[in-house]
Structures are given as structure tokens and as C-alpha cells.
Amino acid sequence: MNGAQLDIHGGSTFIITPSLTGDWAGFAIVAARNNTATATINGNSASSLAGIIYMPASREIQYAGSGSTGGECVRIVAQEITMIGNSSFKLDCKATLANNTINNPGAIRLVR
């Protein structure tokens, strides 16, 4: 809210998982629809991220990983996504997202 930024830097160790119940089931990180702040997520080999990252107005989401940084499932909604390093994501993630399905799993859609 109010232009807040998300910055996880310096090879940080993090474990982010979504709630599987309630109105925001499956969402791990949510920003206001008018928040244009850039988000940076840099992790190390012990880090894990699962869930939907919903930052639809964000200028850019930068995701960088080293080692085996990854997660059970990640869906990102943003204006621009930059992925650096050898991070990985699993695409079969219906259960992780509270049974929220996406019609085209693994697809990348460019929308103007």
C-alpha cells in the first residue's frame, strides 16, 4: 500500500508460502493495483517461494536465485518480469494455489 516496495537482497534466506484458505488463498505477495514500485527478490539455495505474486502495476519484478532457489509453484502478475540466475519453478501447482487453476499452466502471456 502507499507505494511500498518489496526488496529482498544480499543472498537472503526466505520461505514464503500462501495461505490455502480465505479470500486471498494461494496469494503469497499482493500489492495495490496502483502501486508501480519495483520489487526485487534475491535468494540463496535455502530460499523458497510458493504462491501467486500479484503486483499488476509494478514497473518490474526482478527475481534472482542461486543454487536451488525455487518453489513449489509461482505465478507472477506484473508489467515486467526479469529472471536472473538459476532459479527454478514447478508448474504443476494446483494444490499449492488452493486449487485455483489457470487455463494455460506454464504459459507466458504478454499483454499490452
Specify the pLDDT at position 58: 87
Specify the pLDDT at position 103: 53
Specify the pLDDT at position 107: 54
What is the distance between the alpha carbons of residues 59 and 12, in angstroms, rounded to a whole number? 23
Specify the pLDDT at position 80: 84
Specify the pLDDT at position 54: 87
Q: Domain boundaries in the chain?
A: 6-89
Q: If the chain, 112 residues long, is cut into consecutive pieces of 10 residues, what is the mean pLDDT of each piece?
A: 77 81 87 88 75 86 66 76 70 59 54 54
Specify the pLDDT at position 65: 66
Specify the pLDDT at position 47: 76
Residue 90 CA: distances (Å) to CA of 5, 31, 69, 70, 80: 26, 23, 11, 8, 20
